[in-house]
Amino acid sequence: MNYRIANRGFFGMVLLHLAVVAALLIGNVTSMSILLNLFLSEMMLAAPALLALLFSGERPNRVLCFHGIKLTSVLMVIVFTFLMGPLTTLLNAVSMLFVDNAVVDMSGQILEYPFPVMLFMMAVFGPACEELAFRGILYRGYLKSGSALRAVLLSSLLFGLIHMNFNQAPYAFALGAAMALLMETTGSLLAPMLMHMIFNAQSVVLMYVYGRFFPWLLEEQAQMTAGPEELIPTICVYLVLAVACTAVAGCVLVWLGRNEGREEYLRWLWQEEKRKAGRRRLVSPSLIAGVLLCLAYMILLALL
């Protein structure tokens, strides 16, 4: 699978998203259940990616790496996930200087459903579809066609953009890069999938805890537009935490590579990165069109 097919897969995701939005507007559908919304959103990512894999002619088991990892590695993936928390909180807070928190805005609809249902949809089904699409298919296509660094950055950029809002895009980019690196250090798609599930699960759990015991906090957050005077102290605190925790997270990645016996492969990948960095391209017309459509939609959404 090469970068052109991967780019077409991403373009297909964007077109499908916009087509569904247009159909809802034409049909004058003013509201949709959050459950159906979540299901359609994930299928709009997984279906084009799987079609791209199908048209590539490659065997799925050569692209998707689902082999197991050691129990000690699983435990360190959990540690790695929480170490990335301060960076994502920092990026979320910075984005809120300019736009609203997209997840808090949906909390009222989410809490209408039983906890197990939303935990499955947001912390199992969603991460499985997104990791299959972005780390399992698009990233592997870019890695085959270009350098590892470009594959990490491009797949992470597209992962951020496909969230279609300026609040989630920055921290989704950071998480996408972390999960792509996690996949390379462990050699298994199960590692980033586990990280994604833990990250989403903690958000769902906290939302239901707040909804059950501190409902007034959720109401205040939903109604309040945080200003610089509230956000800047938070940003300063999390900036320090993010620098420290992300540095430790880098050490965890090194440990994971050694624990999974991938040191030689990672050294080879680094040498290939230096040798091929300037020789391979990953941009095609479908990629440019997809990125521009995402940005146009996000800008329009922010203005409205």
- How do residues 109-120 score in pLDDT, each as one tens digit? 888 899 999 999
C-alpha to C-alpha distance for 291 and 7, rounded to whole angstroms: 10
Q: What is the pLDDT of residue 25?
A: 84
**24-37 confidence digits (pLDDT tens):** 888 877 677 889 98
Contact (CB, 8 A) for 183 and 142:
no
Mean pLDDT, rounded, for 166-172? 94
Task: Name the burial class of residue 79, with classes exposed (0-12), middle (13-18) and buried (19+) by CB atoms within 10 angstroms of its CB.
Answer: middle
Other CB atoms within 10 Å distance of the CB of residue 155: 28
pTM: 0.92
- The amino acid present at 132, given as its one-letter code, is L
Q: What is the pLDDT of residue 295?
A: 96
Contact (CB, 8 A) for 188 and 69:
yes
- The amino acid present at 230, given as its one-letter code, is E
Contact (CB, 8 A) for 148 and 54:
no
Mean pLDDT, rounded, for 137-146? 86
| pLDDT tier, 59 (very low <50, low <70, confident <90, very high otherwise) | confident
**264-281 confidence digits (pLDDT tens):** 888 877 776 666 655 567
| pLDDT tier, 224 (very low <50, low <70, confident <90, very high otherwise) | very low
